Structure 1
Amino acid sequence: MAQDAAQDKSGSSSLLSPIRRISWHDLIATLAPVVLASILAIAVAFHFVQPAPPSTITLSSGPDGSIFRSVAEKYRPILARNGITLEILPSEGSLDNLGRLTDVNTRVDAGFVQGGVATGSDISNVVSLGSVFHEPLAIVYRNPRPIQRLSELRGKRIAIGPEGSGTRFLALALLKANEIQPHGPTKLVDLAGEAAREALLRHQIDAAFLMGDSAAPETIRQMLHTKGFRLFDFPQADAYVRRFHYLNKLELPPGSFDLGTNLPPKPLVMLAPTVELVARTHLHPALSDLLIEAAQEVHGRPTLLQRAGEFPAPLEHEYPISRDAARYYKSGKSFAYRHLPFWLASLTDRIAVMLVPIIIVLIPGLRLLPSLYGWRVRARIYRRYSELMALERAALTPMSAEKRAALLARLDKIEKSIITGKIPGSFADETYVLRQHIDFVRERLSRTDNESQS
C-alpha cells in the first residue's frame, strides 16, 4: 500500500515537473538580445568615456625671470588645490613653446604662445584654450623729432630681440611690411631688455622693439624719463590690425605711464598681439577646465592694458578654440566639478557615462523580459493550434482508415510533446485548454471514423 502511494506520488511529481520547470531555452533566447544590446551599448559608452585625468600637467613657459615664467608659477598653487602637479619647462619663448607643442615626441601639454608666430607651422594637433593677456609692442627710438611711420627707420640700427623670440618675429613682420629687410642698409641687432636700453643710451642703436618683460609699464616709464628717448605712436594702427589679424589696437590715455609728469603727454596708440594658452588636442577636458580656471584667477584682474574680466577670452586667431574650452566659456564647469572634489568629480563623471547604457537599454530590457518570455512560451502553444486546425480541416474530408490512423497518431504526438515539454506553471491554463482542444479534435476524428463504419 505504501509502495503504491510512493509510486503515485512519484508519478504525480513526474507529471507536474514539466510544468514546474522553466523553459531555459526560451529564457536564454529571450535574454540574449537584451544582454547583447546592453553589451553593445556599454562598449560604445566605454569607447567615448574619458580616462581618469592625469595628476600632472607639463607647461612650456619661457626664460627664467620672464613674464611667461612668472605667470606659470602663479598657476602652480591654483592647480595644486585640485591635486594637480604643474611641471614648468623653461624655454626660449613663444616659438620654442609652439615647436614643443607641435612635436609629437615632446612631452608637453600646454604652453604660452604669442599671436602671430604660427606662420608656416603645422598646427593641426594644437588648440587654443583662450587668449590670456595682451603683450604690447613698444618701439623706443632716438630722433630729433617724432617719426610717423616705421619706414622712417630704414637705414638705422634697430634692436629686434634674440633669435626664437616673439619680439623678433613680430619686429621682422612689421619691418618687412615697411620694406625693411635683413641684410639691407638697415642694421638689425639681437638685443632686448636692459641690453637694448644700454645700447640706446650709448647711441649704439637708434631704436629698439621691446615686448613682454622688456616693455613692462615701469620699464617704459623709466625709458620715457631718459632724455632723447621717444615712444613710437602708431597712427596707422587700424591698417596694421587689418593686415595682421593677430594684432590688437590699444589706446592709452595721457599720463598712463606717469601721472605726475603726464607721460605720455597725449593719447598713445600701441599694437599688441595676445598671448594664447595653447594645448595639445588630446588634453583631458578636466585639465582644460582647470587651466582656464587658473587663467581666470591670474589674468582676470584689471591692469593698465586690460579691463577686469577681459581675459581669458575665447578669441580665435590662428588656433581653433578647443571644444572643451568653448563649452567652459559658455556654461562653466559641470555640476559634479562645481560641487565635488576634483578626484571625486572625475570618478562621478566617468561612472555617469557608463550608467547611460544601463539606464537606457538594460533596465528597460529587463523590465520587458517577462513579457518577452511569456510571448515566446505562448508562441509555442499557439503554434500547436495551427497544427490542430490543419488536422480538423482534414477531418472534414473523406479519408481512408490508414489516413485517419495517421492523423490520430500525429495528434497523439502533438499531445505528447505538450506533456513532456518544459512549460512554466504560470502557463498551465493555456496548456490544459490546448489539451482540451486536442481531445475535441481527437473526438472529431473518432466520430468521423464511426460514422464511416456505420
Structure 2
Amino acid sequence: MNLIRTDWHWLLLLCVGITALIILSRPLPPKDVYFAVGQEGSTFEMLGKKFIPYFEAEGVHLHLVNTQGSAKSLVDLADKGNAVNAALMIGGVADSGAYPGLRSLGSVEYAPLWLFYRGPEFHGPKPFAYFSTKQVSVGPSGSAAEIILRRILALSGISIEGRPNVLKIPNKDAISRLLSNEIDGVFIMDGFNSPNIQELLQHPDIHVLNFSYAPAYVKKLPYMSVVTIPKGSLDLNKAYPAEDIQMLASTVTLLIGKDMHPAVQSIFLLAAEKISNELDQFFAKPEFFPAYVDHAVAISPIAKRFYEGGRMPMLERLPVWLSSYIDRMWLILLGLLAVIYPIFRLLPSYRSKHSLMIIEDGYDEIQEIDQLSANTNNPDLLRKLLIRLEQLDKDTRDGWVSSEEKNRLYTMKGALNLVRNQVLSKLEKNASSINEN
C-alpha cells in the first residue's frame, strides 16, 4: 500500500501502457466476416459452406457472398469500401504484385479447366480450331474460365472477342443449355467435387475434352499444372473414361485483406487444413493441401508460420482467438518481462534509496527548524515551527521506509522530538515572562 501511495503515478502509467497494448493488439476477432465464393453451384460456394461451422464454433458469423467469378471476387476484396474481406480465387487470375493490399493464406485444391461437350468424341491435335465454330460458353466476363482460356488461346494467336458463337453466361445457365442440346460445349474452371462438375460427369451424352498438349502450355503459364483423370477412375465397371484425360489446372486460393485480424486468419487456416483432409482430393496427393502454390499474391506472415509448423502445440486446446493472441504476443511479453524483471530486481535498491531520501530530507528540515528556533523568541514564529515539526512527524510516519533504514528513521525522530521539546520550552519561557510582566 505504501508503494501505491508514494509511486501511484508510475503504477498508473504502467496500467495505461498495458491497457493500450491490449487494445492496439486487438485480442478479439470481429463478429462478422464476408467471404466471396464465386458463382452458385461452384466448388467455391461448396467450400465456403464448409468453412461456416468452424467460424460459428469461434463465435464469428461467416457471410458467403456470391459473385460472377474470380475477377469480381478479387475486385470486391481489393476495394476497401466493400464489405468483402476474404475471397476464393483461381490462381493466376491476379497478376503478380498487382495487389499489395492483399495476402494469401494458400490454396486448398486444384481447379481444372474443363471443356464439357456433346456430340462425337474429339481426338484431334487442335481442339480450339475444332470448337471455334461450335456454340460454347466460357462463363461470365471476369470468370476464371474466361480469363484463363483467353490467356491460353492468346498463345496460339486466337481471340474469343467478337465471336457470336462464344457465349459469356453463368455456369448454371450454360449447363442447362448444354443438357437441353441448345449449345455444344461449356468451359468451366472448377474443382472435381463441385456440384456442377459432378452433374456433368454423370451425364452419359456429355464428354470431357482430353487436352493432350497441356504439358506444353504449362511451360508458358507457370501458375498452371497438368492434372489427369486416370483411365477407368470415374467408373471401373464401365471402364470410364476409356483413356487418361489430361487437363490444365490451377488452384483454388484463399485471399484476404492484409489487415485481417490474425485470429480470423488462424480460423481460416485451421478450417482449410481440416476441410482439405476431408475432401476427396481427386487430383492431389493426400495432405498436399492447403499449400502456398500461387505466388502472385504475397503469403500472410500468419500463414507462413502455420505452414512452417510455427504454432505451439500447447495452444491447440484453447479457443482460436486466445491461442492466436498468445501465439502473436508471447515474443512481446518476453520482451516486456526482460524489461520488467530487472526493474523488479531493482525495487529493493530503489526502496532503500527512497528511504534514505526521506530521512535525509527530514534531517534537513529539522536542522533548518532548529536554527530558526534558536534565533527567535517570537511566539508566532515558534508556533509555526512547531506546526512544521508536527507535519514532518506525520509525513515520516506515513512514508515508505525500508526495514534496513528503520534505525536511522527513529534516530531522526529522536532528533525531531529533541528540537520539538526545545521549541515548546521556548514557548513556555515566553509565556512565563509575559505572565510575570
TM-score (norm: length of structure 2):
0.69
Q: Contact 2:87 / 2:255 at 8 angstroms: preserved in 1?
A: yes
- The equivalent position to 1:280 in structure 2, one of 236, 252, 257, is 257
Does 2:111 match 1:135? Answer: yes
Gaps of 5+ in 1: 1-21, 382-419, 433-454
2:124 is aligned to 147
Write out per-residue CA displacement over residues 383-432 of structure 1, whole angstroms, 9 at most, x where no aligned residue: xxxxxxxxxxxxxxxxxxxxxxxxxxxxxxxxxxxxx9x99746859x99
Q: Contact 1:156 / 1:186 at 8 angstroms: preserved in 2?
A: no
Q: How does 1:202-351 map to 2 (within 5 A)?
A: 205-212=183-190, 213=194, 216-222=197-203, 225-226=204-205, 230-301=207-278, 302-331=280-309, 333-335=311-313, 337-342=315-320, 345=323
Cα pair distance change 1:240/1:40, threshold 3 Å: farther
Q: How many residues align?
A: 372
Alpha-carbon shift at residue 321 of structure 1 (Å): 1.4
Write out per-residue CA displacement over residues 91-139 of structure 1, whole angstroms, 9 at most, x where no aligned residue: 2222221111100001122111112222399411111111011111112
Question: Residues of 1 paired with 2:61 and 2:335: CA distance?
Answer: 34
2:52 is aligned to 76
Structure number with greater Rg is: 1
Question: Residues of 1 paired with 2:298 and 2:196: CA distance?
Answer: 28
Does 2:73 match 1:92? Answer: no
Higher mean displacement: 129-138 or 299-308 = 299-308
Q: Contact 1:115 / 1:246 at 8 angstroms: preserved in 2?
A: yes
1:442 is aligned to none
Question: Residues of 2 paired with 1:258 and 1:209: CA distance?
Answer: 23
Question: Residues of 2 paired with 1:342 and 1:316: CA distance?
Answer: 26
Write out per-residue CA displacement over residues 50-89 of structure 1, whole angstroms, 9 at most, x where no aligned residue: 3321233221223333332222122112222222222222
Does 2:107 match 1:126? Answer: no
Question: Residues of 1 paired with 2:16 and 2:332: CA distance?
Answer: 12
2:416 is aligned to none
Secondary structure in 2 matching 1:135: strand
Q: Contact 2:42 / 2:196 at 8 angstroms: preserved in 1?
A: no
Q: Contact 1:101 / 1:280 at 8 angstroms: preserved in 2?
A: yes
Cα pair distance change 1:207/1:346, threshold 3 Å: closer
Question: Residues of 2 paired with 1:133 and 1:67: CA distance?
Answer: 10
Q: Contact 1:250 / 1:270 at 8 angstroms: preserved in 2?
A: yes
2:426 is aligned to none
Write out per-residue CA displacement over residues 235-257 of structure 1, whole angstroms, 9 at most, x where no aligned residue: 22222222222211112210122
Question: Residues of 2 paired with 1:144 and 1:268: CA distance?
Answer: 12
Write out per-residue CA displacement over residues 124-170 of structure 1, whole angstroms, 9 at most, x where no aligned residue: 11111110111111123456751223442474133212223222222
Q: Contact 1:38 / 1:361 at 8 angstroms: preserved in 2?
A: no
Write out per-residue CA displacement over residues 3-47 of structure 1, whole angstroms, 9 at most, x where no aligned residue: xxxxxxxxxxxxxxxxxxx9xxxx97xx99x87996898589558
- The equivalent position to 2:90 in structure 1, one of 105, 111, 114, is 114
Q: How does 1:8-27 map to 2 (within 5 A)?
A: none
1:17 is aligned to none
Write out per-residue CA displacement over residues 173-193 of structure 1, whole angstroms, 9 at most, x where no aligned residue: 222222211346683222464
Cα pair distance change 1:51/1:200, threshold 3 Å: closer
2:153 is aligned to 175
Cα pair distance change 1:194/1:53, threshold 3 Å: closer
Q: Contact 1:113 / 1:277 at 8 angstroms: preserved in 2?
A: yes
Higher mean displacement: 55-64 or 245-254 = 55-64
Gaps of 5+ in 2: 360-391, 413-437
Letter paired with 2:262: P
Alpha-carbon shift at residue 297 of structure 1 (Å): 2.0
Q: Contact 1:138 / 1:215 at 8 angstroms: preserved in 2?
A: no
Secondary structure in 2 matching 1:296: helix
Cα pair distance change 1:270/1:51, threshold 3 Å: same
Q: Contact 1:255 / 1:262 at 8 angstroms: preserved in 2?
A: yes
Q: Contact 1:50 / 1:350 at 8 angstroms: preserved in 2?
A: no
Determine which structure has greater relative contact order: mean sequence separation of CA pairs < 8 Å that are 6+ residues apart, divided by chain length.
1
Secondary structure in 2 matching 1:136: strand
Alpha-carbon shift at residue 285 of structure 1 (Å): 1.3
Cα pair distance change 1:341/1:161, threshold 3 Å: closer
Question: Residues of 1 paired with 2:406 and 2:65: CA distance?
Answer: 72
